[in-house]
Amino acid sequence: MDLDVDLRSVHEARCLVKQAREAFLKLKEYSQEQIDRLIQVMAETAQNNSLRLAEMAVEETGFGVVADKVAKNLLASETVYEYIKDMKTVGVIAEYPERKVLEIAEPVGVILGLLPTTNPTSTLIYKALIAIKSRNAIVFSPHPAAIKCSVETARIMSEAAVAMGAPAGIIGCLSHATMEGTDELMKHRGVDMILATGGAAMVRAAYSTGKPAYGVGPGNVPAFIERTADITKAIADIMVSKTFDNGTICSSEQAIVVEDVIKEQVIQELRRVGCYMLNAEQKRLVEGVLVKPNGGLNPGIVGRPPQKIAAMAGFNVPSDVRVLVAEESGVGRAFPFSMEKLSPVLALYTASDWHSACEKCIEILNYGGIGHTLSIHSRDESIIREFALKKPVSRILVNTPSTHGAVGLSTGLAPSLTLGCGSWGKNSTGDNITPRHLITIKRLAYGLEEVSAQTAPAQINQGVSDEILKKVIQQVLEQVAV
């Protein structure tokens, strides 16, 4: 342990919170027009730097693909901005004349944004935009393996806002990222809310602070291909999703579940589009590199191309291979292909019908993706509806790439890089997080009915005779005496 680094990190955390608190007290007085101008300039700055930041992220972390990280940066800036730019987040945001109720937005204060190593720039852009849109200051704690690119992203976003007149300190980022510094931020009395995107341990720690927190769970996403599906399109969707940034988004598919009557068609199509079907020995070798010796996903394979993963396992695959696929039957610790892999690696399960496929999907979700996302490819609307009713997930995506659908790129869901898993995943929400989650809504409610002291008791006791009340009281007294 480097005590000097730890102490610098803790000191920096305290300074960042102090600056953020002072900035927030000024920002909370901004009008809707002022806030909207700030986020417009911030979004434009992020868009203009999307390529440079993507290159920095890939170079520093070794994860993913530059072109896909550019796309994620644009999702976090351009797409998110278009979704939130007209959203009311200041003053009266809604009126209900028939009920004589007004809703008024209040900012939360200082938000802590925890960042993952898989999306270190795009997640920061997105969280900065939704925080400032809701008149909150935000301080980021980056992953130690992605400090440089995260700090640079925070810097350009902050400078863009300050250049437009925003108070300095509304966007801060630890440059000495340690567990001690992050712990200081999470527990600091000046931090009012935590936005946790990262590993399960980090999310649990965020919830344990006693502060309001939005955390997300892992996304062990199963994709069910039902017998009526357009198989060519289904496989194309899955491939677009699974190969995007080498599978580093938590909403990417981790397993395909097919009905046995279309299994051979599915395998044929998988091979046609660049999937490599592992034989029994190759599957065993890949299992050896998927997990660490003491269990858990091996970070060395995260976001790596299939050729690299195969080489790590001790064999070679052609340069045009896009995804490694292994047939699987079991789920659990003894079956590494059944877990979230965050890489271009897929498990393939076979079911006799859609009912057994439904159960297999639930089994996969329960092993590490409960509450997150599931996708289904089908042209039978009745099965789609029945399938959806039984799944313990917050997002059920139909005939679309799971990665793109869950984050709101190919669906009507709110564009977001923080996806709640609901009560199933021990999260406080199952929503895609937006600025509306970062405000407190107070309500101004006018009286609708006159209530008098003379009529209230009669209304309360209406329909209950004195004799019945006496009997009830007597029974209670007898029980107490016993």
Name the maximum alpha-carbon separation found in the chain.
Answer: 88
The DSSP symbol for 79 reads I
In whole angstroms, what is the distance from residue 120 CA to residue 76 CA?
A: 11
Catalytic site residue from 250, 275, 361, 421? 250
CB 400 within 8 A of CB 411: yes
Tell me the backbone φ, ψ of residue 93, rounded to 5 degrees.
-110, -10
C-alpha count within 13 angstroms, C-beta hemisphere, residue 154: 28
C-alpha count within 13 angstroms, C-beta hemisphere, residue 75: 26
**Is the four-CA dihedral 259, 265, 270, 273 of positive or negative sign?**
negative
Whose CA is closest to 307, among 243, 238, 378? 243
Helices assigned H by DSSP within 320-438: 354-366, 381-389, 402-406
Whose CA is closest to 274, among 350, 351, 346, 219? 346
In whole angstroms, what is the distance from residue 266 CA to residue 175 CA?
A: 48
Judge whether 421 counts as a catalytic residue. no
Which residues form the catalytic set? 250
